[in-house]
Amino acid sequence: MFKLFAAAKKELLLLRRDVAGLLVLFVMPAILVVVVTLVQENVSKTIGDSALNVLLIDHDKKFVGLTIEKELLASRLINVNKNDTLVKSDIGQARDAVAGGKYQFCIVIPEGMTDSLNNRVLDTVKQSFSKKTQGKHKEDTKNEAEKLIVYADPALREGIRRSIVNFLEKILLSIELEEKMVTLTRIFPEEIQKKYKEKIGPHWPMDLEKIDIPISLQWSRQSFLGVEEIIATGETLKAFPSTMQQNIPAWTIFGMFFIVVPLGGSLIRERQSGTLARLLAMPVSPFTILSGKIIAYLIICLIQFFLILIVGKTLLPMLGTPVLHMGPSVSGIILITLCSALAACGYGILIGTLARTYEQASMFGAVSVVIAAALGGIMVPVYAMPKLMQDISFFSPLSWGLTGYITLFVRGGGLLSVIREISLLLGFFIATTFCAWFTLFYREKIST
């Protein structure tokens, strides 16, 4: 065991001597987080141009429900699913499906929404011809608008969420206006006739121009229909997450995976300088040699994560962003961080084994991490990608790490909710480390 500590200590000592390298490892990801978070703070609130998966549950099944469905179906930005038999009968399950990321939204149209709208519009229109309300804004007897319930995925970018809610409010407004106009058109002749009869009575002919018909179209500005947004995770989160909770974990993982360059590079330098051969001629197992490196770089990753948390908690709020909230599961955060760091180390070791030169390792390592980050939803959310890219994104370890963090930070999940991501990251670490071990200490020994 003390050989393992000696190997790890040696790596840390070498890293400590490389001040420029350490600056790159610690400062660059922190700068990246600050810059990208600030840059995306506004951008992510305003952009929303992707096809979203929306679950529609229509309990109304009349004019309002059918019109909303028709308008949603007509939008190219939304994929409407109204036949999910697994969840459509149960609001709780529908909510879980949104919380789990299967759908970005679930829209529930309450039963009787059309009837309620019809009655309230009729009352309002009739009151327009009433003498009592002449010259006044008439307040609806029922104060609250009939709400369309929208369950939203907390991981959704704020801009996209707001766009959808605005879109729904526009649909509801047009429905309400249409209903008012239809009702007015229907009621107007009857009321006019009635008023004329009241005024003219048996006295005929009379100067019609002098007859005053009391009509007031100064309706209340209060909407009869509205949208109520609910976070799909229910009680776990009290408010929709800020962009900080989405950006910081994303760029933290990105920075973490960039240790593949120095880690892979250190292995190549050992191979090229002959120190690895010297070590392999000593009574020390290849496992100890690799583990020493992994432990040292794992510590680097954890310090990196800790520094970024400090930036998110203190520095960024001083620059005007919201404070970073990390959700309720400390154990989940620790394990996801540990496993993400291990996955990054495993990948670094593998690159250091497969690459022949430092240049190969640094180029391939850096570019492959950027590609994996793009695929993994670090730059653009996975749900905003084309279908093919969404399918490919599953294979990016950065996507597993990010999903884990989003589940914990944004969806308010616990340790159990990220077991899948932890397993995938651990599996990736084991597979890459095994491949590196096989290539470095078994295949080369036999075949070279």
Partner 1 sequence: MSDDRSDKKVLIVEGLVKTYQNSPTPAVNGLNFSILEGDVFGLLGPNGAGKTTTISIMTTLMKPTGGKVSIFGFDVENNPVQVKEAIGLVPQDIALYVGLTARENLRFFGHMYGLKGSYLEIRVSECLDFVGLTASADQRVGTFSGGMKRRANLAAGILHKPRLIFLDEPTVGIDPQSRSMLLERLIHLREEGVTMVYTTHYMEEAQTLCSSIAIMDEGRIIMQGPPSELIEKNPECRNLEDLFIKLTGKHLRD
Binding residues (CB under 8 A) for partner 1: these are 2-3, 6-7, 9-10, 13-14, 17-18, 273-275, 277-284, 445-448
Element (H, E) at 231: strand 225-231
Closest to 49 measured CA to CA, from 385, 388, 377: 385
Class of residue 112 by CB neighbours under 10 A (exposed 0-12, middle 13-18, buried 19+): middle
Q: Minimum CB separation from partner 1 for residue 266, in Å?
A: 10
* Cβ atoms of residues 55 and 94 within 8 Å: yes
**What is the distance between the alpha carbons of residues 256 and 373, in angstroms, rounded to a whole number?**
11
Q: Minimum CB separation from partner 1 for residue 269, in Å?
A: 9
Element (H, E) at 192: helix 158-200
DSSP 383: G
Q: Minimum CB separation from partner 1 for residue 388, in Å?
A: 39
Q: Which is nearer to partner 1, 143 or 447 (CB)?
A: 447
Q: Which is nearer to partner 1, 202 or 283 (CB)?
A: 283
Q: Minimum CB separation from partner 1 for residue 446, in Å?
A: 5
Q: How many C-beta atoms lie closer than 10 Å to residue 389's C-beta?
A: 14
**What is the distance between the alpha carbons of residues 40 and 250, in angstroms, rounded to a whole number?**
12
Q: Minimum CB separation from partner 1 for residue 278, in Å?
A: 4
Q: Which is nearer to partner 1, 262 or 413 (CB)?
A: 262
**Using CA of residue 364, residue 367, residue 370, residue 374, what is the dihedral sign?**
negative
| Helices (H) then strands (E): counts for the chain | 17, 5
Residue 277 exposure: Cα atoms within 13 Å on the Cβ side: 6
Q: Which is nearer to partner 1, 3 or 102 (CB)?
A: 3
Structure tokens of 140?
Answer: 């609806």
DSSP 138: B
Q: Which is nearer to partner 1, 7 or 341 (CB)?
A: 7
Q: Which is nearer to partner 1, 3 or 62 (CB)?
A: 3
Q: Which is nearer to partner 1, 241 or 264 (CB)?
A: 264
Q: Which is nearer to partner 1, 19 or 74 (CB)?
A: 19
- Strands 225-231 and 146-152, by their bridges, are parallel
* Cβ atoms of residues 146 and 231 within 8 Å: no
Q: Which is nearer to partner 1, 126 or 269 (CB)?
A: 269
Q: Minimum CB separation from partner 1 for residue 10, in Å?
A: 5
Rg (the chain; Cα; Å): 31
Q: Minimum CB separation from partner 1 for residue 362, in Å?
A: 18
| Strand partners of residue 55 | 81, 106
Q: Minimum CB separation from partner 1 for residue 352, in Å?
A: 16
Identity at 85, one-letter amino acid code: T
**What is the distance between the alpha carbons of residues 350 and 247, in angstroms, rounded to a whole number?**
28
Q: Minimum CB separation from partner 1 for residue 434, in Å?
A: 20
